[in-house]
């Protein structure tokens, strides 16, 4: 599990470092189209829900979910931006061989971002 998380974090750092920022000329207005960036991605939400239930001793498990994600980025300057991320993920929860429920996670949240621009 830690190898997957470490690999995912390394991949994210490499993508950020290798991708050029598209907002080179930010325009003259705060509402200029060059200040906005809309992206779609696919996320793998890895839930760490392995454990056991205390009363019955059944092994519990929460599955991971692959889900689409959309984000809107606004550039204040060429290198500083704020990002709003919206994604959902549904996780099935099992105890032993029985499915005991599911959890739906919808977490839109702002994410401050600093973009590195080459050249």
pTM: 0.54
Mean pLDDT of 80-87: 84
In the chain, domain spans: 2-114
User: Tell me, what's the pLDDT at 22?
Assistant: 47
pLDDT band at 110; cut points 50, 70, 90: low
Q: What is the pLDDT of residues 13-66, one digit of tens each?
A: 555 554 554 446 788 888 888 889 999 989 888 877 677 777 877 888 888 888
Q: Which run of H or E residues covers position 11?
A: helix 2-18
Q: How many residues are there in the chain?
A: 119
Q: For residue 1, is pLDDT > 60?
A: no
pLDDT digits (tens, 9 = 90+) for 51-69: 777 787 788 888 888 888 8
Percentage of the residues of the chain whose pLDDT score is greater than 70: 68
Mean pLDDT of the chain: 74
């Amino acid at each position: 599990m830690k190898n997957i998380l470490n690999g995912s974090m390394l991949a994210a750092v490499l993508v950020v470092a290798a991708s050029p920022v598209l907002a080179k000329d930010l325009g003259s207005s705060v509402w200029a189209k060059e200040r906005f960036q809309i992206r779609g991605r696919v996320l793998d939400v890895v839930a760490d829900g392995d454990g056991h239930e205390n009363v019955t001793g059944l092994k519990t498990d929460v599955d991971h979910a692959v889900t689409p994600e959309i984000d809107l980025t606004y550039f204040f300057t060429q290198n500083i931006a704020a990002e709003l991320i919206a994604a959902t993920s549904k996780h099935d929860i099992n105890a032993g061989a029985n499915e005991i429920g599911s959890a739906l996670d919808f977490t839109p949240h702002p994410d401050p971002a600093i973009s590195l621009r080459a050249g």
